[in-house]
Amino acid sequence: MTRRRSSDRHVTAPEDRVPVRQKIAYGLGAMVTIVAVNSAVQLASLVYVVGLGISAIWIGYAQALPRLCDAIVDPFLGNLSDNSRSRFGRRIPFLVAGGLLIGIAFWLLWTVPRDWSKPAMFAYFVAASLFFYTVVPIFSIPHGA
């Protein structure tokens, strides 16, 4: 077994280097998913349980259901993204559409009508959560590919 010397390390050719600006842009894309999903998980209890008075157990179930559906949707979206062909490439249409839809879905999570009954607000949260956790993978799966 031969040892590698520090002078033997690989040097990337200048034309193969990824510019810092591109690395930062890629990292910011990951932040979209991280911030949106973590905010939704962290703030749901505060807004719906403390602010609107809905049962914490209901909100827990409402947060679990979309994640179960997410397990079904993710492989489908991954396959769709991998096999798509457009003049913009395989991933760009998903990134653009997913980014816009995440913004809409995130807004919908927090715009529940306050004059609705508690069961209606719960149903609204379930529907908004299902929509949110369905559109997040439209962005996050192609971004991570």
Q: Is residue 28 a part of any domain in this protein?
A: yes
- CA torsion sign for 24, 25, 28, 30 is negative
- Please check the confidence at residue 33 and state whether its pLDDT lies above 90: no
pLDDT digits (tens, 9 = 90+) for 110-128: 999 989 999 999 999 999 9
- Burial of 81 by CB count in 10 Å (0-12 exposed, 13-18 middle, 19+ buried)? buried
Q: Is residue 14 part of a domain?
A: no
CA–CA gap between residue 35 and residue 41 (Å, rounded): 10
Q: Residue 35 domain-assigned?
A: yes
Instruction: Please report, as a single letter, which amino acid is at residue 133.
Output: Y
Task: Tell me the CA distances in angstroms from 16 to 13, 29, 73, one per residue in order.
Answer: 5, 22, 35
Its pTM stands at: 0.78
In a domain, residue 15? The reply is no
103 in a domain, yes or no?
Answer: yes
Q: For the chain, what is the domain count?
A: 1
**What letter does residue 17 receive in the DSSP assignment?**
P
Residue 7 lies in a domain: no
Look up the domain containing 37 and give its range. 20-144
